[in-house]
Structure 1
Amino acid sequence: MIPRRIFLAAAPLAGCTAAATPSAPTAPTASATPPEAPMTSVASVPFDRFVDGVKTEARRRGISQATLAAAFSGVRPNQRVIELDRRQAEGGLQWEDYRDRIMVSPTRVQNGRRNYAENADLLRRIEQRFRVSPRVIVAIWGVETNFGGNTGGFKVVEALATLAWEGRRAAYFRTELFAALKILDDGHIRTERMMGSWAGAMGQPQFMPTNFERLAVDFDGDGRRDIWDSKADALASIANYFARNGWRDGEPWGLAVAPPPGFNAAGADTAMRPMRDFARMGFRTEAGRPLPDGPDAQVVLPNRGNGQVFLGHHNLRVIRRYNSPVNYGLAVGLLSDRVG
């Protein structure tokens, strides 16, 4: 008898995320000019005094005065950043709209195929080194920044300083702020080019600064890990993220399926089990064909969906370590199937 358990579709997996935003394609990238309205904050000290304290600690950490002067030149608290941070918990789109209008739209698929073909040699070399599917690399690149075309319009230092000062998640963003200052001090990017999302996610892969420290790669060999302007560094860094988070070379991520008659989504069993077990239970491909052989899988249900069902393998879990929402992981998987 197979046990039944409720599947919490939106529950994040354990592991690190590349970006602090819940869904990269909807992350705002508009220019961050502070409005004239009064700043509202839970911070207990004036922003200038907060920045002075950051500079003092940064100097103790070895950050040069020149870097600090450039990084904080003209930096002010940004009300738009605070507004966007507080708005995160609002509901999202239905799965089908999110899938078809945003993540796996015909335009994104077409652009994905073009970028996959244009960068075939680079992607082949990255795959040889990191043993990560080039299709999933291109899919992440596409959904995070539209293949490098939309990397964010916020000054990373200003955004992180605002969030570290504002107080709601001060410790987290203060750590990210010092990591960003070290990236500048090490010469990987110029201050004026360190742009990103309102939450400080940076460059073509949308890495947070601490993930840059651990996982960004200098693949073009110029001595800098430039995930903003070097396509080689950006795509190799995505591959390194996946490799370091357990990607299994040659294994699929999952597939959409037709469940057997009487399938109860509300009580779906989510245990990992062999594909042959699902075949015996009556699962078939969405097109009605027998299930392919493959690694162990589990039932995965989109959040806010209207009935689509998936079987997800280990590599779907790895995709969700990049950005945890289940709909994100499924959409990246579907896009990866269509770009290569």
Structure 2
Amino acid sequence: MSYPVVFGLLLAAALALPLHASAGTHSQTRKKAAPAAAQKAKKSAIKKTSVRKVRSAPASRQGLPYADHPEAMRFADEVAERRGLDPAWTRRAIGQAQQLPLVQRLMQPAQPGTRKNWAIYRSRFIDNFRINAGLRFWQENESWLAKAEREHGVPAEIIAGIIGVETIYGRQMGDFRVIDALSTLAFNHPENHPRAAERAAYFRGELEQFLSTQHRRSLDPLEPLGSFAGATGMPQFMPSSWVKWAVDFDGDGRIDLRNSAADAIGSVANYLKGYGWQTGMPTHYPVRFDAETVDMDTLLAPDILPTFSAASFQAKGALLDGAAAGHAGPLALVELENGDGPSSYVAGTENFYVVTRYNHSSYYAMAVIELGRAVREAVERQP
């Protein structure tokens, strides 16, 4: 799953560490030789840096702990029993998780009647900054992208598109504690969401998987950072996706989706292949309409699920040209709203639908496809 995320404090913390270490490596001889004023300034700098280093999370990342939440504590006991975990460890982990109001606000559904706008959505992901970052990512990881394409049949541009849309190639992987995000959405999911109960159940499952994985690997459940929905690493995998689809693509003996571009690339390809990616099949085709025969209600009824043969698609007034007219698999009419303007449409194939299994949105899928294409074209323009 993918959710927009906003970051900032990780870099500041990283910059503070070298300053602190540097200040502590001066020899006693140099300290004695330095003027008193300089010594005072150094001590002040060390003190300020130390405070910055241990400073607690910003207010937006703090909330009420779940230790006094009876339902959360019952869940901790149930997870421990189901998964064979240490009950004290599980209660302590969930008890230290915090309910974050910011996570609840970010998960609020769109206002009813709000029209989506593909042009605005697209502009958030297809820009020079992201394309240039993708170019560097491709150049640095060309062999891994080629290996993933060769072994899984997923084009390098689709893999690059997903990692680019998700985290700008690892630049924005999230600064929410995963256990806080998952606990908040498991026990305090916004009730005005149209599928609140279903979504809360989903996040409870993800929290359970996260705790089980951390316990099994003897890792601190309070350390991992991710998106406000609990997704982590360059490809923003949820805990269940990590267990099912993540792979040690670089063969170093461990799976690291945060620091290993190779593992991220191989895992994305494995995920898409697992959801049915078909090698060589386009993701979509252009479509035009016969104004006299088009049956938009019928064509749009299945949403993005490929349902119509190419022949029945055209019989309902959605016309295809060239090779698209002979497409062998089912098609879907994909509508992309443009605010108050006319919608855009494409004929989505089964591979388009596979991309939406990463994030259940046709807008997301098109952004991935178009960003990946733009990055590939940038690569091809290089001398």
TM range (shorter): 0.7 to 0.9
Q: 2-side partners of 1:303 and 1:131: how far apart?
A: 31
2:329 maps to 1:300:
no
Matched, 1:55 2:91: no
2:370 to 331, 334, 339: 334
Match of 1:135 among 139, 157, 163: 157
Distance across 2 between alignment mates of 1:67 and 1:235: 33
- Residues 145-166 of structure 1, C-alpha deviation per residue, up to 9 Å, x if partnerless? 1111111111011111122222
Q: How many residues matched?
A: 309
Q: Tell me which residue corresponds to 1:161.
A: 183
Structure 1 position 194 matched with structure 2 position 230: no
The question of whether the paired residues in 1 share the 8 Å contact of 2:356 and 2:364 is answered with yes
- Give the whole-Å Cα distance in 2 for the aligned partners of 1:38 and 1:229: 29
Moved more, 270-279 or 101-110: 270-279
| Residue in structure 1 matched with residue 109 of structure 2 by the alignment | 88
Distance 1:267 1:185, change over 3 A: same
Counterpart code for 2:70:
R
1:149 to 160, 164, 171: 171
**Counterpart residue number, 2:120:** 97
Does the 8 A contact of 2:163 with 2:234 survive in 1? yes
Q: Secondary structure at the match of 1:255?
A: strand
Mapping of residues 223-302 of structure 1, within 5 Å: 223-259=253-289, 266-267=296-297, 269=299, 272-274=308-310, 283=319, 294-296=327-329, 297-302=331-336
User: In structure 1, what is the Cα distance between the partners aligned to 2:93 and 2:140?
Assistant: 36
Q: Tell me, what secondary structure is at the counterpart of 2:357?
A: helix
**Corresponding position: 1:180 with 2:210:** yes
Is the partner of 2:356 in helix, strand or coil?
helix
Deviation at 1:123, TM superposition (A): 0.9
Q: Which amino acid aligns with 1:222?
A: D
3-state SS of 2:346 partner: strand
The aligned counterpart of 1:5 is: none
Distance 1:195 1:175 in 2: 18
Instruction: Select the residue among 128, 131, 142 that pairs with 1:109.
Output: 131
Q: Which residue is 2:32 aligned to?
A: none
1:181-215 deviations in whole A, cap 9, x for unaligned?
12212339654551111121222111221222211
Which residue number in structure 1 is paired with residue 13 of structure 2? none
The alpha-carbon distance between structure 1 residues 251 and 337, as it changes in their structure 2 partners (threshold 3 A), is same
Higher relative contact order (CA 8 A, sep 6+): 1
> Kindly tell me: are residues 145 and 115 of structure 1, through their superposed partners in 2, closer, same or farther at Cα, counting changes over 3 Å?
same
Mapped to 1, the partners of 2:105 and 2:258 lie a distance apart of 26
Whether the 8 Å CA contact 1:295–1:313 is kept in 2: the answer is no
Unmatched segments (≥5 aa) in structure 1: 1-17, 40-44
What TM-score comes out, normalization by structure 2 length?
Answer: 0.68
SS in 2 for 1:333: helix
Q: Structure 2: any 5+ residue segments left out of the alignment?
A: 10-56, 192-196, 301-306, 377-383
C-alpha spacing 1:299/1:81, structure 2 compared with 1 (3 Å): closer
Please tell me the residue identity of whatever aligns with 2:178: V
| Distance in 2 (alpha carbons) for counterparts of 1:189 and 1:263 | 61
Structure 1 residues 96, 262: closer, same or farther in 2, change over 3 A?
farther
CA distance in 1, matches of 2:263, 2:120: 32
Give, in angstroms, the shift of residue 114 of structure 1. Answer: 2.9
CA distance in 2, matches of 1:171, 1:214: 19
- Kindly indicate whether the alpha-carbon contact (under 8 Å) linking 2:183 and 2:207 is maintained by their aligned counterparts in 1: yes
Which is helix-richer, 1 or 2? 2
Q: Do 1:159 and 1:199's aligned partners in 2 also have CA atoms closer than 8 Å?
A: yes
Tell me by how many angstroms 1:318 deviates. Answer: 0.6
TM-score using structure 1 length: 0.76
Letter in 1 for 2:233: G
Q: Give 1:124's aligned residue.
A: 146
Matches within 5 A, 1:196-211: 196-211=226-241
Task: Quote how far apart the aligned CAs of 1:249 are.
Answer: 0.7
Which letter maps to 1:95? W
Equivalent pair of 2:76/2:94 in contact (CA under 8 Å): no
Kindly state the Cα deviation for residue 97 of structure 1 after the two structures are TM-superposed: 1.5
CA-based RMSD of the aligned residues comes to 3.7
| Change in 2 beyond 3 A, CA 1:206/1:35 | closer
Q: Structure 1 residues 268 and 219, CA, compared in 2 at 3 Å: closer, same or farther?
A: same
Identical amino acids, percent of aligned pairs: 30
- 1:321 aligned onto 2:351: no
Shift of the 293–202 alpha-carbon distance from structure 1 to 2, 3 Å rule, reads same
1:15 is matched with none
Distance 2:208 2:63 in 1: 27
Within 1, Cα distance between the matches of 2:241 and 2:61?
34
